[in-house]
Amino acid sequence: MKKIVLLLLLVSGFQLAAFSQDMTELVKKVKAKLDQVNDYVADGKMKTDVTFIKAPVGKVKMYYKKPGKFKLRRDGGISVLPKGGISISPGALMTTSDFVALAAGEAVVEGVKTKVVKLLPLNENSEIVLTTMYIDEPNLLIKKATTTTKESGTYEMTFSYGKYSSYALPDKIVFSFNTKDYKLPRGISMEFEDDAKPSELDKMKNKKGKVEITYASYLINKGVEDSVFK
């Protein structure tokens, strides 16, 4: 009896290993597609949607360079970004080959059937703890990614693709992140009139923040100076 149980365990263990390997292959294929892009400069528009920030939609320029350098600049203005200066690019999601990819089923994202893959970095010092990717397998495109980090909490990215899908570069990214309560003492703000009703204040608490970037054009593999990222 013991032998049968052992045998069953061994078989199931091998099956799990084999399944995990399949996902690693899929992730490697996606990474290979992303690796076509060594660098890019993109123009687009950025919209910041955080309950306690009133910000206009602004033109932005984004710079990317392998293996994970990313810089976003607002055209002649101030840019509001999620904490930690997180890289808003699919290429920046996979900067290393040292990971374990585990299958976690299937899901439909924006009407597209995707494979759900849990990506665990092998490096203990990695800032990323876990990334869950929703991969459109036939097109090798990441449709959605949820990343849990050590310092910057959990954030989610959804990608919409268009004319640059052959490079796995999105036309639109929606970056969602958790926000904490904000309040400035009246002694510093020097405001003495009550601005919001209690119900409006409740709405502002513990809401998700969003940064939405719509790309207008990409300039791919034309070289980007390292000084841009400083």
Where on the chain is the footprint of another protein (CB under 8 A)? 47, 49-58, 74, 76-85, 177-180, 182-186, 188-193, 195-196, 201, 204, 209
CB of 61 to another protein, least distance (A): 13
CB of 68 to another protein, least distance (A): 18
Whether the Cβ atoms of residue 81 and residue 57 lie closer than 8 Å to each other: no
- Give the other-Cβ count within 10 Å of 71's Cβ: 16
For residue 130, give the amino acid letter: L
Integer Cα distance of 129 and 125 in angstroms = 9
The residue (of 9 and 80) whose beta carbon lies closer to another protein is 80
- Largest CA-CA distance found in the chain, in angstroms, rounded: 78
Integer Cα distance of 144 and 192 in angstroms = 44
CB of 208 to another protein, least distance (A): 10
The residue (of 56 and 138) whose beta carbon lies closer to another protein is 56
CB of 200 to another protein, least distance (A): 9
Element (H, E) at 180: none
The residue (of 17 and 80) whose beta carbon lies closer to another protein is 80
The residue (of 26 and 72) whose beta carbon lies closer to another protein is 72
